[in-house]
Amino acid sequence: MTGSDKENSSDVAGLLAEIGRDFHARGWVLGTSGNFSAVISHDPLQLLITASGHDKGRLTADHFVQIDEDGKVIAGEGRPSDEARLHLTVARRCGASAILHTHSVWSTILSDACADEGGLSIKGYEMLKGLSGVRTHEHEEWLPIIENSQEMTALARTVEETLQRHPAAHGFLLLRHGLYTWGKDTSEAKRHVEILEFLLEVAGRTHFAR
């Protein structure tokens, strides 16, 4: 890794740490929940990702490790998030450069409440226009719901198959777990989290008010 690569990785880690602290303050990644990554290299694929076990409210640039396309640590200290394989899958399948995963109350509740439908449909809201490529509030966003598993190789395969079936999706929900979304860079991925978390809360409050 060159000096400029190190500087770039440090800058990205600092930005992801700032995003993590912000999300913690909003109640989206309490305690050690959630994980964040950014692509450092697409060819070969290398990610900078949160190391496991760190409080997201105290996240710093030192709490990230760099992994290769097989999930092996090639720089930094600690063990990568257990869900590193899911980040690698999203990066490959969607061409994403940043992947963010939250554990909010509403994403968890709705992933359970809508599990029988296999996903959650959100349409008619102006905030949908904050998602990449969406130009009208008439857009219908489908968030697939995937059954959670501790077997990450199998879960990564399910995520890939789901994204193949729903190539236009901006995110997905893991059952009783939380939201995954991504973007062409950290700024877009952060915006997608904000948009989708807003819409999930609206959908949840509307659903349970009936």
Residue 65's domain comprises 3-209
Average pLDDT, the chain: 93
pLDDT exceeds 50 at position 7: no
Q: How many domains does the structure of the chain reveal?
A: 1
**Nearby residues of 189 by Cβ (< 8 Å), 6 or more positions away:** 96, 97, 98, 99, 100, 181, 182, 183
Strands 45-50 and 73-75: unpaired
Here the CATH number for the domain that contains residue 29 is 3.40.225.10
Nearest to 198 by CA among 125, 121, 136, 98: 125
The larger pLDDT score, comparing residue 110 to residue 77, is at 110
Q: Over the stretch 88-109, which tens digit does the pLDDT of each residue have? A: 999 999 999 999 999 999 999 9
Query: What pLDDT, on the 0 to 100 scale, is given for residue 3?
Result: 37
Residue pair 183/192 in contact by the 8 Å Cβ criterion: yes
DSSP secondary structure letter of residue 76:
S
In angstroms, the CA 159 to CA 105 distance is 22
Residue pair 204/117 in contact by the 8 Å Cβ criterion: no
pLDDT exceeds 90 at position 49: yes
* 4 confidence band (pLDDT: 50, 70, 90): very low
pLDDT exceeds 80 at position 138: yes
Token digits for 88? 């690698």
pLDDT exceeds 90 at position 82: no
pLDDT exceeds 70 at position 167: yes
pTM for this predicted structure: 0.93
